[in-house]
């Protein structure tokens, strides 16, 4: 799934910082940040052997 979101200035700066720190492109950093948030809040279950490098293209 591909989505477009509008970020505030401080959110955009934070995303750029995350991308810089992780060495990822902005889109991948946003995906990683969202995934970590969803796992942390219990909305997404972490499966043993889950490969974060696999991206489903739908």
**Predicted model pTM:** 0.72
Task: Give 32's contacts (C-beta < 8 A, 6+ positions apart).
Answer: 18, 22, 24, 52
Q: What angle do CA 47, 50, 53 make, to 5 degrees?
A: 150
Residue 16 and residue 2: Cα distance in Å, rounded?
19
Q: Residue 58: pLDDT band by 50, 70, 90 thresholds?
A: very low
CA 27 to CA 19: how far, in whole Å? 9
Q: Please write the tens of the pLDDT for every residue from 4-53.
A: 999 999 999 999 999 999 999 999 999 999 999 999 999 999 887 655 55
Which pLDDT score is estimated for 47? 82
E strand segments, the chain: none
């Amino acid at each position: 799934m591909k989505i477009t979101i509008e970020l505030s200035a401080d959110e955009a700066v934070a995303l750029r910082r995350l991308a810089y720190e992780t060495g990822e492109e902005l889109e991948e950093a946003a995906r990683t940040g969202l995934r970590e948030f969803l796992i942390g809040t219990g909305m997404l279950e972490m499966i043993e052997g889950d490969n974060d490098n696999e991206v489903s293209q739908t």
